[in-house]
Amino acid sequence: MRRAVAVRISALLAAGALTAAAGVALSTTTASAATGGVTGYATQNGGTTGGAGGQTVRATTGTAIHQALCSRASSSTPITIQVEGTINHGNTTKVSGSSCNTAADRIELKQISNVTIVGVGNGAVFDQLGIHIREAANIVIQNVTVRNVKKSGSPTSNGGDAIGMESDVRNVWVDHVTLEASGGESEGYDGLFDMKDNTQYVTLSYSVLRNSGRGGLIGSSESDRSNGYVTFHHNLYENIDSRAPLLRGGIAHMYNNHYKRLNESGINSRAGARAKVDNNYFEDSKDVLGTFYTSEAGYWQVGGNVFDNVTWSSRSGDHNPAGPNPTSNTSVSIPYDFALDGANCVPGVVAQTAGAGKGLKVSDGSCTPQSPDPTDPGPTDPGEPTDPGPTDPPAGANLSLGAGADGSSKASGTSYGNVIDGNTSTYWSPSGSTGSVSVKWGSATTVSKAGIRLASGSGTIGAYRLLNHDTGAVLASGSGAGTVSFSPASLKKITLEITNASGTPRIAEFETYAN
C-alpha cells in the first residue's frame, strides 16, 4: 500500500492574481446568486436564506464589503454582496456604523444577520484574510476561495481559520467554496472550517478543503459541546493531516464526500458526538474514522462507504480507529430530505461540482452533475411564497386578536396596534418603504400560518420576511399580501419585516394562526 505523504507541501494557489481595487461598494444591481438550494441542517431552525429579498451590491475590496454591511438600515436588513477580485490586508480596513462591527484584519460578520457573500465574474479570492462569523445568523457564503490564513507569522488573520464561526451562531450555509492552506500548525496555519461556542445549523456543501494540517473542528475543547447539527456533503478533503472534521459533542451528517490523502486521521468523533457517515469515498488515507487523541468516546452510524487503499492502526490508549471493518455503534435520525449518490461515483461527481468556479453545479442524486436553477430571489424577484389573495383565509382563530404589538419604523398617525385590532380600516405603515411590525404574547404560542392584509390605498410589498423574533430564524419570505404557511414554531413574538416596497405599505392586519 502506498504510504500517505505528510502535508508539508505548498498549496497550488489560484492562477493569475486578480487586481485589487481600492474603492468602496459599487452601485446597486439587480443580479442575484444562482443556487441549487440550501441543503442539510442549514434548512432547519427556520432555514437559511442569507440576503435574499434585499439589496444587492458589488464589492472589489474588503473595505467595500465592510462598507456594504455598515450602510444597511439595521444589522438585520438583508443584503447580497457580490465580490470580485482579490481581497487582502492591503484593501481591508475597519468601517464603523450602527449596523456593523468590523475589523481591519479579517472579513468580520459580527452581531449581524441576513447576509450573502457570493463570488462573481472572474472570481473572488480572500488571500491571507479569513472570514469570521460571530454572534450572527442566516449567513450564506458561496463561490469564493479563501487561502493561506495564518495565526502566526505575518500577516495573521482570524486566528488562522479560513472560515471560523463562534459565539451563538445560527444557520450558516457555505457552498461551492475552496479553502486551502500551505501546511500545518508549525507553518502558522490552523483550521480551514471551525465552529465553536454554540454554533448550530450549518451546512458545508460542494466545497474543496486541501493542503492543511487541520480540516476543521466542531467544539474548541471537550467541554465545548454546545455545537452541532452540521451537514457536510459533496466536499473534497485532500491532503489533510487530521480533523476532517473533529467533532466534540453534537450531531454531524457526512454524506457523498471524497476524502483523499487524510494523512493521520479523518472524521474524529469524540466527547459523546454522533456522526452519521453515508456513501462517502475514502481513498489513500489512514484511520479515516474513529475516536482519536482522547479517552472520551464518540459514536458513529455508517453505511454505503467505500474504503479504497485505507490503512488502519491498532487500537491503543486514546487511539481508537473504527476500522478495519467499521460498524455502527449508534443511530442518528436526520430531520431533512437528502438524495444519496452511490459512493462509487462520488469522486467523479465531486470533481465536477466541488469548489469555487465550478458554475455552482450540483448533483441530482443519480451521479449526474447539473447546473442549478436560479432560484435565489434578487431584490426585484422575491420569489418564495406568493400572494394567494385575501380571499384565502386560514381556518381557526386569529391568534393576533388579544395579543400585543410593537415594531420599528412607524409613519405619523399610524399605530402598531392597528394590525391586531380586527379592523381593516385602520393600519400601520413604516415611515418609508421598509420597517417591521411584531405580534407578541406573554407565553410561547405555536404559529404555522400568517395573514397579511392591506388597507385601501396601500403601496405594494416588494419583499418581506417573517421572523421568529425569539431566535432570529426566518420562518418564511415572499412578496405582496395574503396568507403564507411555514413549519410550526413555538414563539413569544413574530415579526413581519418589510425589506422592499413600491410606495408606502399600509398593513391593516397581521394575522396569525396555529393551523
Other C-beta atoms lying within 10 Å of the C-beta of residue 330:
14
Nearest to 146 by CA among 177, 101, 108, 119: 177
Read off the DSSP letter of residue 35.
B
pLDDT higher for 386 or 489? 489
Other C-beta atoms lying within 10 Å of the C-beta of residue 446:
13
What phi-psi label fits residue 101: left (phi over 0), alpha (psi between -120 and 50 degrees) or beta?
beta
What phi-psi label fits residue 255: left (phi over 0), alpha (psi between -120 and 50 degrees) or beta?
beta
Describe the chain by its helix, strand, coil percentages, rounded to 5. Answer: 5, 45, 50
> Per-residue pLDDT tens for 377-419?
333 333 333 333 333 446 678 999 889 999 888 888 899 999 9
Cell 452511490 belongs to which residue?
Answer: 342
Cα–Cα distance measured from residue 350 to residue 206, given in angstroms and rounded to the nearest whole number = 7
What are phi and psi for residue 22, nearest 5 degrees? -105, 10
Categorize the per-residue pLDDT at 36 as very low, low, confident or very high, splitting at 50, 70 and 90.
low
Q: Quote the pLDDT of residue 493.
A: 94
> Per-residue pLDDT tens for 145-188?
999 999 999 999 999 999 999 999 999 999 999 999 999 999 99
Non-local CB neighbours of 237 within 8 Å, separated by 6+ positions: 209, 210, 215, 244, 257, 258, 259, 260, 262, 266
User: Which string of DSSP letters, residue by residue, matches 436-458?
Assistant: EEEEEEEEEEEEEEEEEEEPTT-
Q: What is the mean pLDDT of the chain?
A: 88
> Per-residue pLDDT tens for 196-241?
999 999 999 999 999 999 999 999 999 999 999 999 999 999 999 9
Q: Which three cell numbers stand for residue 471?
A: 431566535
From the candidates 170, 243, 248, 506, give the one annotated as an active-site residue: 243
**Maximum Cα–Cα distance for the chain, whole Å?**
79
Give the Å distances, CA to CA, from 65 to 22, 118, 386. 12, 11, 31
Q: Is 274 a catalytic residue?
A: no
| pTM, entire model | 0.69
> Per-residue pLDDT tens for 311-324?
999 999 999 999 99
Contact by Cβ (8 Å): 55, 79: yes
Q: Which three cell numbers stand for residue 361?
A: 453545479
Q: Which of 21-30, 133-142, 179-188, 245-254 has the lowest mean pLDDT?
A: 21-30
| E-strand stretches of 317-411 | 319-321, 362-363, 369-370, 404-408
Categorize the per-residue pLDDT at 503 as very low, low, confident or very high, splitting at 50, 70 and 90.
confident
